[in-house]
């Protein structure tokens, strides 16, 4: 019974409803960046888009994916030895020496707060054995979470012809990373010399200026190279939610990231589009005279621009389901689409369990059906 949604590709009922919401016009803005985006961290809904899918270098914002992969697959309390390769890497460094023994946890702070390229190499070697193998994992993981415009040749992001991403991909990667409590803790830290009774060998202060100038900023990562220019991925609290802002090749990155945040804050509001338990539709059941209602499991809180039209697309099978049916079965899909064509989908479930129909009940149903 589970995952009946796969059948929708063959036969389905499709309903579209447009819902205008609120007043006041919200004029879009342009920012001084080659590429930029803002998304809602919970749903991934696009709130601002300026060439967001343009494939370009992204410098040290690469380290978001490095940290994400490490937190997904590695034991961050294990100790690794800094290699000559890590100690001699060019660009921004924490300053570890070959032979130093450091925890992955400390290296993650050095990676995300100080943008240490030596930390990136040490993490890659300590997690996968070699930088090359770690990059293979990065690329495989990127595809698995839907980063289709990205390719990684290093864990640090120094310029390379085959190392690139897009503002959209970086926003989606950050959304995924922010599902991890430890990631949020690291990127929002301003100053640290240890964690949970563990002393670090070095003290780190965060170079993300927005953490100090904007009270609602919660991270995430800076970046700069000659080819990529100045880059910034940042996150901001908004009501009870959070938005992610990316600016790539943006000289005034602090100001423009703040502008995008202010634009979203001034022009969007979070609306309860669907309530938990709300009946969205119904579906026929073989052996039952009446269909069963389909409901959403939880509230759907969605960011809506003032005077924006939200489109609801409901997809449910138009054939009779067979019993038994459980409230955990995925029966339908409700998709919300905003005016930037950004989509968010939730599954629909039966409101109640229905046990298997007995043979006599089914015969009675068929007789009544023919009358």
What pLDDT was estimated at residue 324? Answer: 84
Per the structure block, which two tokens stand in for 279?
């009946």
Residues 233-247 have pLDDT tens digits of: 999 999 999 999 999
| Residues of the chain by 3-state class (helix, strand, coil), percent to 5 | 30, 30, 40
Q: Note the pLDDT of residue 161.
A: 93
pLDDT given at position 369: 60
Distances (CA, A) of 74 to 34, 85, 170, 295, 333: 34, 21, 21, 39, 35
- Predicted pLDDT of residue 86: 98
Closest CA to 127 of 184, 207, 69, 174: 69
Tokens 């690469």: give the residue. Answer: 62
As a whole number of angstroms, the distance between CA 151 and CA 62 comes to 10
Closest Cα partner for 51 from 66, 22, 30, 74?
30
- Decide: pTM greater than 0.95: no
Q: What pLDDT does 284 receive?
A: 77
Q: Which candidate in 41, 83, 115, 235 is catalytic?
A: 115
C-alpha to C-alpha distance for 113 and 86, rounded to whole angstroms: 17
CA distance 128 to 138: 11
Q: What is the pLDDT of residue 26?
A: 39
- Residue 16 has a pLDDT of 38
- Is 234 assigned a catalytic role? no
Q: How far apart are CA 3 and CA 120, in angstroms?
A: 40
150 is catalytic: no
The parts of the chain modelled with pLDDT lower than 50 are 1-27
- Measured between alpha carbons, how far is residue 262 from residues 17, 53, 232, 236 in Å? 30, 22, 16, 10
How many beta carbons lie within 10 A of that of residue 343, not counting itself?
A: 15
Catalytic (active site) residue 115:
yes
Asked whether the CA dihedral 129, 133, 135, 141 is positive or negative, the reply is negative
Catalytic residue among 63, 175, 176, 230: 63
pLDDT for res 330: 86
Domains of the chain listed by start with CATH number:
4-22+272-370 (2.60.410.10), 35-251 (3.40.710.10)
Tell me if 260 sits within 8 A of 245, measured CB to CB.
yes
Instruction: Give φ, ψ of 47 to 5 degrees.
Output: -110, -20
Among candidate residues 35, 41, 60, 150, the one labeled active-site is 60
pLDDT attached to residue 370? 53
pLDDT of residue 194: 81
Tell me the C-alpha distance between 363 and 361, whole Å.
5
221 is in an annotated binding site: yes
């Amino acid at each position: 019974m589970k995952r009946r949604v796969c059948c929708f590709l063959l036969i389905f009922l499709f309903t579209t409803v447009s819902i205008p919401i609120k007043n006041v016009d919200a004029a879009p803005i342009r920012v001084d960046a080659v590429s930029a985006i803002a998304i809602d961290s919970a749903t991934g809904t696009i709130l601002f888009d300026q060439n967001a899918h343009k494939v370009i270098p992204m410098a040290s914002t690469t380290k978001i994916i490095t940290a994400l992969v490490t937190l997904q697959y590695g034991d961050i309390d294990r100790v690794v030895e800094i290699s000559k390769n890590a100690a001699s890497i060019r660009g921004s460094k924490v300053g570890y020496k070959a032979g130093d023994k450091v925890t992955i946890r400390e290296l993650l702070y050095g990676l995300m707060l100080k943008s240490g390229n030596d930390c990136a190499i040490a993490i890659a070697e300590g997690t996968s054995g070699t930088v090359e193998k770690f990059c293979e994992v990065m690329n495989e993981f990127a595809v698995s979470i839907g980063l289709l415009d990205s390719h990684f040749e290093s864990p640090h992001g120094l310029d390379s012809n085959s190392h690139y991403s897009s503002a959209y991909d970086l926003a989606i990667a950050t959304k995924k990373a922010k599902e991890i409590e430890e990631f949020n803790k690291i990127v929002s830290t301003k100053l640290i010399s240890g964690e949970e009774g563990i002393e670090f060998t070095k003290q780190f202060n965060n170079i993300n200026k927005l953490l100090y100038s904007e009270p609602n900023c919660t991270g995430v990562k800076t970046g700069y190279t000659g080819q990529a220019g100045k880059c910034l991925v940042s996150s901001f609290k908004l009501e009870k939610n959070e938005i992610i802002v990316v600016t790539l090749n943006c000289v005034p990155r602090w100001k423009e990231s703040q502008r995008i945040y202010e634009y979203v804050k001034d022009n969007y509001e979070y609306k309860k589009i669907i309530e938990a338990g709300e009946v969205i539709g119904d579906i026929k059941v073989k052996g039952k005279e009446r269909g069963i209602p389909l409901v959403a499991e939880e509230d759907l809180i969605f960011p809506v621009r003032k005077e924006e039209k939200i489109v609801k697309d409901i997809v449910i099978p138009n054939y009779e389901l067979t019993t038994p049916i459980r409230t955990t079965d995925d029966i339908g899909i409700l998709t919300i689409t905003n005016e930037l064509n950004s989509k968010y989908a939730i599954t629909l479930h039966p409101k109640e369990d229905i046990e298997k129909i007995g043979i006599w009940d089914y015969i009675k149903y068929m007789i009544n059906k023919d009358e």
